[in-house]
Structure 1
Amino acid sequence: METLFAYLLIFAAISGALASDPDLLQDVCVADFASGTKLNGYACKDAANISASDFFFDGLAKEGVPNNLMGSVVTAANVQKISGLNTLGVSLSRVDIAPGGLNPPHTHPRATEIAFVLAGVLDVGFITASNVLVSKTIKKGEVFVFPRGLVHFQKNNGDEPAAILGAFNSQLPGTQSIAATLFTATPEVPDNVMTKAFQIGTKEVEKIKSKLAPKKA
């Protein structure tokens, strides 16, 4: 019995370690984007060359302008914006959503998200692996959690702009927007895959692709 209990403790510890980014092995490891070293994360800048600017970002203080098809814009504060986040296993993002706008169904493959409403009222939800929708209307000051890897969304059905601040247990949680991932992939997902999966015709597939395609500058 004691042996079984020990195995369970070891399994729990391993599972916990794999649930988020690896632990750091030094005080800081500021990302060295110029390094050619390839690893799971970024190589560390020489400690003699780090500064306060490596740990600073003011982008979340500014309200985003959601002037796109979805009526939402995401401002990320991850390791690519704050090099000092490298190996720390956390990041943030701000999502600004216009009235009637949508942060479309998407997933974060490397992190759980906890969202804090900065302004407005939002209808939010996630879908479990059993195809069950878990949803709620949340307002300023309230919090909602989106489990790691599950498809989720935020919709502003109100008359006022809304915004949330999302926190992640990963320095780079990754985002896969379901529609954009499937309909704007490069190379393209074959039409016969899309028509079969969505039970629509080729014309409908091409129409959706044209609407979701990135606008050329």
Structure 2
Amino acid sequence: MCLCSLRASSTSSSTPGHTNTVAIGALSSQNPGTITIANAVFGSKPPISDEVLAKAFQITRMAAKTLLLALLAVASSLAMASDPSPLQDFCVADKASKVLVNGFVCKDPKVVKAEDFFFRGLDKAGDTGKKLGSNVTAVNVNKLAGLNTLGISMVRIDYAPKGLNPPHTHPRATEILTVIEGQLFVGFVTSNSDNGNRLFTKMLKKGDVFVFPEGLIHFQFNPGYTNTVAIGALSSQNPGTITVADAVFGSKPPISDEVLAKAFQVDKKTIDWLQAQF
């Protein structure tokens, strides 16, 4: 994206000015879409469960209900880009190469082995003893070199009772998820539009399948009292993950509390407290 400032504050200081500013932006899509974090997370229609949000943001359910009133937001536009199609049978990632490309350069086909297309370990449960009670075991190009240029990867997700895979996005992939054991309450929120930030949810049981469109904020929550296991397939060799709470309140360095306070329509003290949780 090309961003050109047409008029800015006359002050030379790095602090925000007190005059109007105008900017022009060019985006590489005829309809790029916008996902405004506060609107999507706290202003979806119908609202995301306060139990899900309270666990995701590590706050009380009462605080989550308070934040549900916030309807202005941190602008967070996600540029979607699919993986390129392969131009040969395979292009096993050469992790030893020092050449930097978008993805990985190909290993010499003459030295490729069956092990380059093999991964072992998805039968093993992940550690769900963390605060959120979930664990994601990813099988992407970083774990399985043969996935390079194939535009696909997968995950195993384990959920403890009341475990949550918090609101997050995959900027480069659509995800299709199936429940292997247990049950899941899942959902995603649409981007900003005339009737935007719609929340679609479903209770899944063993064998059920649900799809999360590329780039949209989504979550999974185990409402039960037994463990749950799910397998997901993603349409990218390296889909990426942006966890909303971590990105907004746990960035390094932190986003200005003045910016976040205005975006979420709360005071700076509340923002400082939220940032301290991450």
Instruction: Answer yes or no: same fold by TM over 0.5.
Output: yes
- Cα deviation for residue 19 of structure 1 reads 6.6
**What letter matches 2:186 in structure 1?**
V
Q: Counterpart of 1:125?
A: 187
Does residue 142 in structure 1 map to residue 204 in structure 2? no
Q: Counterpart of 1:159?
A: 225
Mapped partners of 2:131, 2:270: distance in 1: 18
Q: TM-score, normalised by structure 2?
A: 0.68
Does residue 86 in structure 1 map to residue 148 in structure 2? yes
Q: Which runs of 5+ in 2 are unaligned?
A: 1-79
Q: Percent identity?
A: 52
Mapped partners of 2:276, 2:121: distance in 1: 31
Q: Counterpart of 1:25?
A: 87
Mapped partners of 1:178, 1:142: distance in 2: 26
**What letter matches 1:138 in structure 2?**
L
Secondary structure of 2:210's partner?
strand
Q: Counterpart of 2:162?
A: 100
- Paired residues, what number? 195
**What letter matches 2:260 in structure 1?**
M
Q: What is the 5 A alignment of 1:138-217?
A: 138-212=204-278
Q: Counterpart of 2:47?
A: none
Q: Which runs of 5+ in 1 are unaligned?
A: 1-17, 213-217
- Cα deviation for residue 139 of structure 1 reads 0.7
Secondary structure of 1:53's partner?
helix
Secondary structure of 2:203's partner?
strand
Q: What is the 5 A alignment of 1:40-59?
A: 40-59=102-121
Mapped partners of 1:22, 1:110: distance in 2: 11
Q: Counterpart of 1:215?
A: none
Secondary structure of 1:208's partner?
helix
Equivalent residue in structure 1 for 2:137, among 75, 79, 82: 75
Mapped partners of 1:125, 1:32: distance in 2: 37
Secondary structure of 2:122's partner?
helix
Contact 1:59–1:77 (CA under 8 A) maintained in structure 2? no
Q: Counterpart of 2:75?
A: none
- Cα deviation for residue 202 of structure 1 reads 2.6
Q: TM-score, normalised by structure 1?
A: 0.86
Mapped partners of 1:59, 1:182: distance in 2: 32
Runs of 4+ in structure 1 deviating by more than 4 angstroms, as ranges, are none
- Cα deviation for residue 53 of structure 1 reads 1.6
Contact 1:78–1:91 (CA under 8 A) maintained in structure 2? yes
Mapped partners of 1:207, 1:110: distance in 2: 32
Mapped partners of 1:63, 1:93: distance in 2: 12
- Cα deviation for residue 140 of structure 1 reads 0.8
After TM superposition, the structure 1 stretch with the greater mean CA deviation from structure 2, 61-70 or 144-153, is 61-70
Secondary structure of 1:60's partner?
coil
Q: Counterpart of 2:174?
A: 112
Mapped partners of 1:82, 1:156: distance in 2: 29
- Cα deviation for residue 86 of structure 1 reads 0.2
**What letter matches 2:208 in structure 1?**
E
**What letter matches 1:180 in structure 2?**
D
Q: Counterpart of 2:12?
A: none
